[in-house]
Amino acid sequence: MKDAWYGDKRDLIKWGALVHLARHNRARKIIQVAFFRPTVLDNRPHLESEGQEWPVAEEVWFHFRDLRSIRHLARRCGLKIDVLGTRFDHANRDKYFRDVVRALEAAKGRKVVLLDPDTGMEPTRRTESHVGRDEIEEVWRALSSHDWLVLYQHQRRESGWRDEVRKEFSRACDGARVDMFASPRASDVAFFVASK
């Protein structure tokens, strides 16, 4: 997930769904696999006034680009939220997923795991913005019984994209039943959920 997307209206829906899922199913922990891709500091927006220009202050920039600030929500909700926020490098995907699997296998107790790439599951070709079906399968195998796997999915170009992604996600999760969270406030995204 690019840090530039952090804190938008989709995050309200995302974290609302995750907290509901955790509470409803008595999971004490949420683990976000963030696919973190930081934005270069030089890409900060600039402000203009009276013919002068300056960049947004670094403190402001980093406040709104810190994925780990979600921990404040954890305290308020009485949950533990871990962000697997190691830098995601498309060229080293295999190592990234080996590290994710190790972290999930080491995590104790019932948990909700969010796969949070920029745009969701690969449609036809894998890019740095997608998670592959084989990678979802790998994460699914690392989960314990009664854990939940959640996939962030951005709208695809074809109609019926929600039904198609639901089927693909179910196949990646050994045919598990898949539910979907969505909201009219962010109709271009959906969250697909399967229980192991």
pLDDT of residue 54 exceeding 90, the answer is no
Give pLDDT, residue 39: 65
Residue with tokens 């190592």: 95
Is 172 within a domain?
no
Q: What is the pTM of this model?
A: 0.85
Q: Is residue 189 one of the residues assigned to a domain?
A: no
- Find the mean pLDDT for residues 36-50: 73
Residue 160 lies in a domain: no
Which residue segment(s) compose the domain that 109 sits in? 3-148
Query: Bigger pLDDT: 2 or 26?
Result: 26
* 101: in domain: yes
100 with 84: CB under 8 angstroms?
yes
* Half-sphere exposure in the Cβ direction for 71 (13 Å, CA): 8
Q: How confident is the model at residue 138 (pLDDT cuts 50, 70, 90)?
A: very high
Is residue 13 situated within a structural domain?
yes
pLDDT for 45: 77
Asked whether residue 35 is domain-assigned, the answer is: yes
pLDDT bin (cut points 50, 70, 90) of residue 137 is: very high
- The reply to whether 191 falls in a domain is no
Average pLDDT over residues 38-64: 74
Alpha helices in the chain (DSSP H): 9-24, 58-63, 71-77, 93-106, 133-142, 161-172
Q: Can you give the pLDDT at residue 38?
A: 74
pLDDT at 108: 92
Please say if the pLDDT value at position 29 is more than 80: yes
Instruction: State residue 3's pLDDT score.
Output: 45
Judge residue 145's burial from the number of C-beta atoms within 10 Å of its C-beta, 0-12 exposed, 13-18 middle, 19 or more buried: exposed
Residue 190 near residue 180 (C-beta atoms within 8 A):
yes
Average pLDDT, the chain: 88
- Residue 77 inside a domain? The answer is yes
What is the count of structural domains for the chain? 1
